[in-house]
Amino acid sequence: MYSEEAQHVPARPRRRALTLMVVSGALVLLTAGTAAQAVPPHQTAQHRTEIIRLSVVDDGSQDAAVDADPAGESLGDYIVYHFALADRHGTVVGRLDSYKVLTGTGADIGYLTYVTVTLPGGQITGQNAELLPNPNAPIAVTGGTGRYLGVGGDMSGEDDGATAVIRLTR
């Protein structure tokens, strides 16, 4: 799949952009049932929606960019990252793990993004095709485990670059 010659590329210069992209999409996955600031669910005949806001905790965050062969921007390059997630009181309530695979270069640059949010009681998964220059495209919630089994919805980040908004539907 990836060449044995793939190199680890330091990700620090990409840290701020990566954090914004993560918050813009991936963080928004977080779910109901945490100590997060939740807006009361809205009921409809077809589904119930819950809105949650969480913050990225930068302490202990990890990320890496891998430059697959050929060197430079090429299909298969990827970014892997992990962030702790906190409620409005700053209490860590979960974590976000994700990776993005480069699927287009030049004028067609884009990534496939896969996200898993782990919270007490289960996990929430999501994915999107991140087509640049619009890295703020919502991430679709594709499912969950445990208390999040059967959820749908979407995630997005706020302009502050550190807040995730998650809309879960059941």
- In tens, the pLDDT along 124-151 reads 999 999 887 776 788 999 999 998 999 9
For strand 78-86 and strand 152-157, is the pairing parallel, antiparallel, or unpaired?
unpaired
Give a yes or no: residue 120 inside a domain. yes
- The CB-based long-range contact list for 58-61 (8 Å cut-off, 24+ gap) reads 58/19, 58/83, 59/84, 60/84
What pLDDT digit, counting tens, does each position of 50-77 carry? 887 889 887 778 899 999 999 999 999 9
pTM over 0.85: no
Residue 1 lies inside a defined structural domain of this protein: no
Number of domains composing the chain: 1
Tokens of residue 120, six digits: 């007490």
Confidence at residue 52, expressed as pLDDT on a 0 to 100 scale: 77
pLDDT at 43 over 60: no
| 46, part of any domain | yes
- pLDDT for residue 95 is more than 80: yes
- 2 found inside a domain: no
CATH of the domain at 86: 2.40.480
Full domain range(s) for residue 144: 7-169
121 lies in a domain? yes
Q: Residue 45: its pLDDT value, please?
A: 53
